[in-house]
Amino acid sequence: SYVLTQPPSVSVAPGKTASITCGGDNIGLKNVHWYQQKSGQAPVQVISYDTDRPSAIPKRISGFNAGNTATLTISGAEAGDEADYYCQVWDSSRDQVVFGGGTKLTVL
């Protein structure tokens, strides 16, 4: 089955840029969706279809997808960005949704 690989943790200093990667075989050929989950809360969609951002999500959150890696970038990191982030794709070969293992973002 299709596997999405995320680093377990990423740290960033306040005001700096954090990049969270999501690796998969030719993931650039798939549509990647990203979710933010703060402690004790339900996930919230932050990026869909690689780069699309819902209106409520700040512009400093962006996505990119090419080759074997999709990347979620958070610019000007704030304490409020501390959360778990998950990538997700549709595996058309098995007709199933696949989630990455999640990345815990810490703003130091």
Partner 1 sequence: QLQLQESGPGLVKPSETLSLTCTVSGGSISSILDYWGWIRQPPGKGLEWIGSIYSSGSAFYNPSLRSRVTVSVDTSRNQFSLKMTSVTAADTAMYFCARHGGYCSGGTCFYPSGEFDSWGQGSLVTVSS
Interacting residues with partner 1 between 12 and 31 (CB under 8 A):
31
Contact string 77-96 vs partner 1 (x = CB under 8 A): -------x-x-x-x-x-xxx
Half-sphere exposure of 103 (CA within 13 A, CB side): 28
Strands 96-99 and 18-23: unpaired
To partner 1, the closest distance from the beta carbon of 10 in angstroms equals: 15
Can you read off the two tokens belonging to residue 80?
């409020």
**CB nearer to partner 1: pick between 2 and 76:** 2
Residue 64 near partner 1 by CB under 8 A = no
**H helix intervals, the chain:** none
Q: How far is the CB of 54 from partner 1 (least distance, A)?
A: 7
Does residue 69 bind partner 1 (CB under 8 A)?
A: no
Backbone CA torsion sign across 75, 48, 65, 37: positive
